[in-house]
Amino acid sequence: MRWLAALAVVVLLLLPAVLNSYAITVFIFIFFYAFLGQAWNIVGGYAGQLSAGHAAFVGIGAYASAILSVEMGLTPWIGMLVGGLLSAGLGTVVGYLGFRFGLRGFYFVLLTVAFAEVCRIVALNTDAVGGALGYYITFTGNPWQFQFQDNRAYYYVALGLMLLATGIVAAIERRRFGAYLIAIREDESACEALGVNTFRYKMLAMVVSSFLTGVGGTFYAFYLFSLQPGSVFGIPLSVEIIIRPIVGGAGTVLGPILGSFILSPLAELSRIYFGQGGWAGAHLIAYGLLLIAVVLFLPQGAYPALRRLWIRAAPR
Amino acid sequence: MSACAKMTARAPLLEVSGISKRFGGLQAVRDLSLEMARGEVLGLIGPNGAGKTTAFNLLSGFLSPDTGRVRFDGHPLAGLKPHAICRLGLARTFQIVRPFPRLSVLDNVRIGALARHPRMAEARGKARAVIDQVGLGAKADLTAAGLTLADRKRLELARALATEPTLLLLDEVMAGLNPTEITDIVGLIKRINENGVSILLIEHNVRAVMSLSHRIAVLNFGEKIAEGEPAAVANHPRVIEAYLGEEYVHAPAR
C-alpha cells in the first residue's frame, strides 16, 4: 500500500511533462477539490458532523488573502495563513454554537448552511469588498503574489495542498485524536461514558478543518482572480466540497481523492458538452444521480468498496 | 500521614445524599441516599420503571439531579460531564448496549483504554488484556455489529473496564442471556470485583443479584424502600409486596 502511494505521487509529479494545458487544468481542479474534500473529511467524515457550509471558510480565506494582497501588498503566501486563521475563527464560533447546544444531524447542517448564507449576504452588501460586482485581482504573474504565468505552477501548488491535507488526515487517523473522532461519529454518548471529552474533540476537528479550508480560499482567489459572493460563499460550492468525500468514502484517507478523481472530470466534461444551449446545470443532475447510486449501492463510498475488492483479489 | 490514608480508606467510595429527579409529572427518583464502601458489590433492584436507570444516569453525569448531591472518591460530582466522571474512576455500561458498530471489538475496547493510556500502542495492549479477561479474545478482530447479544454485553463490560474504574455501574448486563451465559458473566463480575473494582449492579435476575451482591437496595416508584443484606432484603415485607408480590400471591395456590 505504501509503495503504491509513493508510486502514485511520483506519477503525479511527472505528469505535467506529458499533459497539455487543458488536461493540466482538469488535474488542478481534481487536486483542489480533493484538498477541500479532505479538509471537510476531518469534521464531516471522521467526526461525522455534517457541515454543509464549508464554502464560508473558502470565501473568508479567499477574500482575506485577496484584499490583503491588493490593498496592502501582503504576499498571499502569508495571507493564506491569515485567511486560514480567520476561517478557523468562524469555525470556532459555528462549532461552539453547534456542539455546546447539542445540535446534531439536520440541525447542525442547517446551522452551518445559515452561517455560510450570512457570509454570502454580508459580502454581497459590503461595497468595500466589491459587493455584488465581486472582487477582482489584477494579474501580474508575480510568484511572490501567488500568481504564475505557467499553469504547471498551479498544478504543483494544488498537488502540494492535496498531499499536505492527506498527510494531515493520515496522521490524525493513526492517533488518539482520530480514534476518538471515529468513535464520536459511531456513538457520542458511549464516547462520553468512556472518558472522551466529545465537545473538545469535535471543536478541534472543526478548527483544523476550517483552517485548512480557509487556506484553500487563497488558491481559489489567485487561480480564478475574481471573487463573486454567490460562487465563493454559495451553497453550490459547499455541495462540491461535500460530495467528493461522500462519493469516494467519507472518513477514509483516500476517499476524498478518489471522489475527486471521479467527480471533477465528470463536472468538467458536462460543462464542456452541456455548457451551451441552456444545459449549464447538467452536471448537477449527474451529481444527483451519482449520489443516489452511491447511497443505494455503496453507502460507505467507493474507497471501502474498492478496498474489499482488492483484499478479495489479493493472493494469499 | 497514615491517619490521613486511613481516613480516605474508611470514607465511603460513593456517597449519594438525597438526590431527586423529576421528568414533567413523573418523579423518577425521590430523595435517594446510598453509600458504598470500597470493594463492595451493591445490587440495585426494583420493578420496571422504579428509577434504577435514572439513578445510574444521575450518578454517571448523563443527567443532573434536581436536588441532592453525589460524592465519589472524595470528589463532588455536581456539574461534571460524563467524561470527567469516567476519568475520576466511575465507569458505566448501558442497558441497551451501544458498541461502536463498525469498529472491531479491539478498537471498541481501545477507545476505553485510551482514557488512561493516551498512546495508541499501549492502549491496544491494555485493550487486548481486557478482551482476554472477559473471554472475547478469539473475537477481537470481528466487527462489533456482528456479535451475538451475549458477546455485545461482554464487549460493553470490557469497554467500561478498560477505562480502569474503581467503581463500575452495570446496567442489566444479564438481560436477554441464557442460563449458561448468565453463569459465565456472574463468574466474570465476581473476578472483576476480586481485582478490587467496586460494583453497583442493576439486575432483574434475582438469583444472580443475590449471589453477587454484598448488599442490596430496592427501589420502587423512585424511592428506596429497603436496603440490607440479600437474605434480609428478600424477606422484607415491602420488597415482597412491591417486587416479588405476584409470586407471593400465587404461592399458596400451588
A38-73 confidence digits (pLDDT tens): 999 999 999 999 999 999 999 999 999 999 999 998
Q: Which residue in chain A is spatially nearest to B123 when comparing CA positions? A: A176
Instruction: Compare CB distances from B120 to A179, A193, A197 and report the shortest one's residue.
Output: A179
Which of A9, A107, A31 shows the shortest CA–CA distance to A265? A31
Give pLDDT, residue A280: 66
Give pLDDT, residue B2: 45
Give pLDDT, residue A286: 77
Which of B157, B167, B174, B231 shows the shortest CA–CA distance to B193? B167
Residue B159 forms contact with A (CB below 8 Å): yes
Which of B242, B239, B217 shows the shortest CA–CA distance to B227? B217
User: In the predicted model, is pLDDT for residue A254 greater than 70?
Assistant: yes
Least confidently predicted of A20-29, A248-257, A263-272: A263-272
Are the CB atoms for A112 and A94 separated by under 8 Å?
yes
Mean pLDDT of A270-278: 70
Q: What is this structure's pTM?
A: 0.90
B111/A183 Cβ within 8 A: yes
Give pLDDT, residue A212: 98
A183/B100 Cβ within 8 A: yes
Q: What is the ipTM of this complex?
A: 0.88
User: In the predicted model, is pLDDT for residue A35 greater than 90?
Assistant: yes
Interface test with A, best of B56, B100, B110 (most A CBs within 10 A): B100
* Helix, coil or strand: residue A120: helix
Residues of B with CB below 8 A from A194's CB? 83, 86, 91, 111-112, 115, 159-160, 162-163
User: How close, in Å, is residue B239 to chain A by CA atoms?
Assistant: 32
**CA of residue B214 relative to chain centroid, distance:** 14
CA–CA distance from B182 to each of A105, B25, B40, B87, B134 (Å)?
Answer: 38, 37, 20, 29, 13
Cell reading at A123: 459580502
Give pLDDT, residue B3: 45
Give pLDDT, residue A309: 83
Instruction: Compare CB distances from B100 to A174, A186, A195 and report the shortest one's residue.
Output: A186
Size of interface A-B (CB pairs under 8 A): 80
Are the CB atoms for A246 and A50 separated by under 8 Å?
no
Mean pLDDT of chain A: 91
Residue A280 phi, psi (nearest 5): -60, -30
Give pLDDT, residue A24: 93
User: How close, in Å, is residue B213 to chain A by CA atoms?
Assistant: 24
Residue B63 forms contact with A (CB below 8 Å): no
- Other Cβ atoms less than 10 A from the Cβ of A5: the count is 14
Mean pLDDT of A210-225: 96
B112/A192 Cβ within 8 A: no
Give pLDDT, residue A278: 66
A179/B114 Cβ within 8 A: yes
Instruction: Compare CB distances from A186 to B94, B101, B159 and report the shortest one's residue.
Output: B101
Residues of A with CB below 8 A from B86's CB? 192-195
Question: Where is pLDDT greater, at B195 or A299?
Answer: B195
Give pLDDT, residue B79: 92
Q: List per-residue pLDDT tens for chain B, 254 residues long.
A: 444 444 455 689 999 999 999 999 899 999 999 999 999 999 999 888 889 999 999 999 999 999 999 999 999 999 999 999 999 999 999 998 999 999 999 999 999 999 999 999 999 999 999 999 999 999 999 999 999 999 999 999 999 999 999 999 999 999 889 999 999 999 999 999 999 999 999 988 888 999 999 999 999 989 999 899 988 888 888 887 876 555 554 444 33
Write the pLDDT tens digit of every residue in A69-115.
999 989 999 999 999 999 999 999 999 999 998 888 889 999 999 99
Whole-number percent of chain A with pLDDT over 70? 97
